[in-house]
């Protein structure tokens, strides 16, 4: 089977990852995967050409596990897309706001819709993902059960929409990155660009301060810096960083060169066009 025009995502049909994949790649076949590990494996193994992966949410912060898969996956970031998250309260046909007693969804979605849960005195029940919650209550066919899911899930699973736009914050946005087996770098000088990379600092006093100094002195804007341990060692720390600009830009080129003096490894994960929504404030 050809892998061309197949894009993998984690979750069930109707999940936010499915929505953004359809939105950005409308002519592609979407491939649902049970876990993030399965998504990475689908692309690495040739079952799909691209992966659509959530990496950050404006409320919940970074998506767990993704930052551990990226350094070791040998996949490359080739694009980013921002999706304004919208949740609906769904019930089986015949259910109403008066009949529902429990609400099912992913733990993050439940945390992002606390107001409506309190308003109707609902008991939250954690599901694996938002679309899966919709499928589960459709199968149960119980008017006392509801799901917090993206609107597309109502259409897919034959549910009624009991309330729309129920998220607590109207700036709730998730950033997704698109991964590929082959690196596809944005052309230099062709609009705003993001460079993502990982590095390990040497275990020396002030190593991180010195490693980052080159970005400041060369006027490079760093938009992300996150750390996590390597193989469980407290003395080995890896950083995921993102900066505005292209490695061919003189300032960023100098900063990356200086970075190598204070690190044991630098690996560029991707050089890709900045999504237009990146520059917009809340």
Catalytic residue list: 174, 176
In 77-179, alpha helices (H): 107-112, 114-119, 130-140, 151-157
Distance CA 230, CA 256 (A): 22
**In which residue are the tokens 């799901």 written?**
147
- Given a contact cutoff of 8 angstroms between Cβ atoms, the answer to whether 225 and 239 are in contact is yes
Residue 145 CA, chain-centre distance (Å), reads: 28
DSSP code string of 179-195: EESS--PPPTTSS-EEE
Buried b (16+ CB within 10 A) or exposed e, 69-102: ebbebebbbbbbbbbebbbbbbbbeebeeeebee
If 0-12 CB within 10 Å is exposed, 13-18 middle and 19+ buried, where does residue 21 land? buried
Give the H or E element holding residue 216: helix 207-217
- Given a contact cutoff of 8 angstroms between Cβ atoms, the answer to whether 81 and 20 are in contact is yes
């Amino acid at each position: 089977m050809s892998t061309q025009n197949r894009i993998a995502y984690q979750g069930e049909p109707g999940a936010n990852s499915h929505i953004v994949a359809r939105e950005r790649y409308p002519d592609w076949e979407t491939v649902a995967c049970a876990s993030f590990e399965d998504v990475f494996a689908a692309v690495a193994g040739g079952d799909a050409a691209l992966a659509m992966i959530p990496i950050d949410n404006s409320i919940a912060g970074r998506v767990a596990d993704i930052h551990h898969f990226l350094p070791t996956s040998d996949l490359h970031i080739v694009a980013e897309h921002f999706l304004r998250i919208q949740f609906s309260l769904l019930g089986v046909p015949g259910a109403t706001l008066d009949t529902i007693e429990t609400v099912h969804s992913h733990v993050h979605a439940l945390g992002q819709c606390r107001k409506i849960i309190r308003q109707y005195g609902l008991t939250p029940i954690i599901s694996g993902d938002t679309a899966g919650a919709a499928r589960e209550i459709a199968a149960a066919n119980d008017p006392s059960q509801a799901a917090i899911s993206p609107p597309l899930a109502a259409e897919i699973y034959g549910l009624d929409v009991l309330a729309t736009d129920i998220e607590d914050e109207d700036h709730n946005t998730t950033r997704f990155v698109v991964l590929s087996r082959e690196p596809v770098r944005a052309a230099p000088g062709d609009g705003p660009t993001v460079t993502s990379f990982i590095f390990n600092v040497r275990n020396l006093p002030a190593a991180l301060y010195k490693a980052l100094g080159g970005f400041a002195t060369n006027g490079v804007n760093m938009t992300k810096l996150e750390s996590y341990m390597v193989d469980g060692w407290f003395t080995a720390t890896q950083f995921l960083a993102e900066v505005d600009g292209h490695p061919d830009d003189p300032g960023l080129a100098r900063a990356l060169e200086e970075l190598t003096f204070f690190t044991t490894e630098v690996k560029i994960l991707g050089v890709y066009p900045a999504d237009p929504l990146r520059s917009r404030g809340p």
